[in-house]
């Protein structure tokens, strides 16, 4: 049992992942870049982003390799979820550009660098191959379920922020529209009073001959 437990622990630790979850506020006409180091060719790089508030929730983005060559990019997109394989060792850059509109943007994003080294079973561990397969399958299933839950949480988190931003924007527009209507009504009332006062003043000064 100890051997099985140790082997299960080895399976769980076999996939080494470095993840970064951040939230960034991009001002109008601002460009921001974030970086992740890749230590080996073939590592998996995961990149997720979603615009939470600002404008029409769109933003320009680009991912570049250590040689500043574009790996993947997009213009005026609200969110994205990508996984690609690193072909070079070094520092990858993930950049956002808020240049389409004059409003600030709040962006949530995750950067994950994951490596999955192959396990080599020794002769003593060979009898545990069946247990290894079962544990490995269970681990992958749990990993898939956790990823599904994480994506669902991100989806609802993004919807909540966007709906909240829409509500705040609508309230602001209703407030200013109501204020303009009140000013217009008061102005029209004052104009009508002035017209009536002027009309009766002129009528009272008229003289008629008999």
User: Does any domain span residue 60?
Assistant: yes
CA distance 210 to 198: 26
User: Does any domain span residue 191?
Assistant: no
User: Does any domain span residue 93?
Assistant: yes
User: Does any domain span residue 26?
Assistant: yes
Q: What is the CA radius of gyration of the chain?
A: 32
Q: Is the pLDDT of residue 16 over 50?
A: no
User: Does any domain span residue 192?
Assistant: no
User: Does any domain span residue 117?
Assistant: yes
pLDDT digits (tens, 9 = 90+) for 72-126: 999 988 888 888 899 999 999 999 998 867 788 888 888 888 765 444 445 555 5
Q: Supply the CATH number for residue 39's domain.
A: 2.60.120.680
User: Does any domain span residue 174?
Assistant: no
Q: What percentage of the chain has pLDDT greater than the value 90?
A: 18
User: Does any domain span residue 62?
Assistant: yes
Confirm whether pTM is higher than 0.75. Answer: no
Tell me how many domains the chain contains.
Answer: 1
Domain that holds residue 66: 15-127
């Amino acid at each position: 049992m100890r051997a099985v437990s140790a082997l299960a622990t080895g399976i769980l630790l076999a996939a080494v992942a470095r993840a970064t979850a951040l939230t960034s506020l991009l001002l109008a006409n601002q460009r921001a870049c974030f970086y992740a180091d890749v230590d080996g060719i073939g590592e998996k790089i995961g990149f997720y982003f979603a615009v939470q508030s600002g404008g029409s929730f769109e933003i320009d983005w680009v991912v570049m390799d250590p040689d500043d060559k574009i790996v993947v990019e997009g213009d005026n997109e609200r969110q994205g979820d990508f996984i690609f394989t690193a072909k070079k060792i070094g520092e990858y850059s993930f950049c956002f550009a808020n240049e389409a509109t004059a409003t600030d943007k709040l962006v949530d994003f995750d950067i994950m660098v994951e490596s999955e080294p192959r396990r080599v079973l020794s002769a003593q561990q060979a009898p545990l191959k069946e247990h290894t397969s079962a544990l490995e399958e269970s681990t992958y299933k749990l990993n898939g379920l956790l990823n599904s839950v994480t994506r669902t949480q991100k989806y609802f988190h993004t919807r909540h922020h966007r709906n909240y931003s829409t509500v705040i924007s609508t309230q602001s527009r209703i407030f200013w529209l109501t204020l303009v209507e009140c000013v217009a009504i008061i102005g029209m009332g004052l104009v009508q009073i002035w017209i009536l006062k002027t009309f009766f003043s002129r009528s009272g000064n008229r003289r008629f001959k008999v």
